[in-house]
Amino acid sequence: MRYVVGFFIGSAIGLTVGLLAKCTTGMCPLTNNPWITSFLGGMMGVMLAAKPPEKSEDRDQKTEDR
């Protein structure tokens, strides 16, 4: 569920960037097509929604319990 929410939030941000940040020459592949920026924003949202790595202190406590 967290990944889906991250994808939709990232897609919304990517679509906004794709629509507002137009390249004047039309040669920029990222800002030329809002669908591409929407997809890439969604993928970045999924990566940000992924679980962050554990802190080293938490890992040390788990190994001491064994």
In tens, the pLDDT along 22-54 reads 777 777 877 778 888 899 999 999 998 887 766
- The structural domains of the chain, with segments of one domain joined by +, span 2-65
Give the number of residues written for the chain: 66
Per-residue pLDDT tens digits for 2-29: 889 989 999 998 888 888 877 777 778 7
Output the pLDDT for position 20: 83
Q: Is 45 exposed, middle or buried (0-12, 13-18, 19+ CB in 10 A)?
A: buried
Confidence grade of residue 66 (pLDDT, cut at 50, 70, 90): low
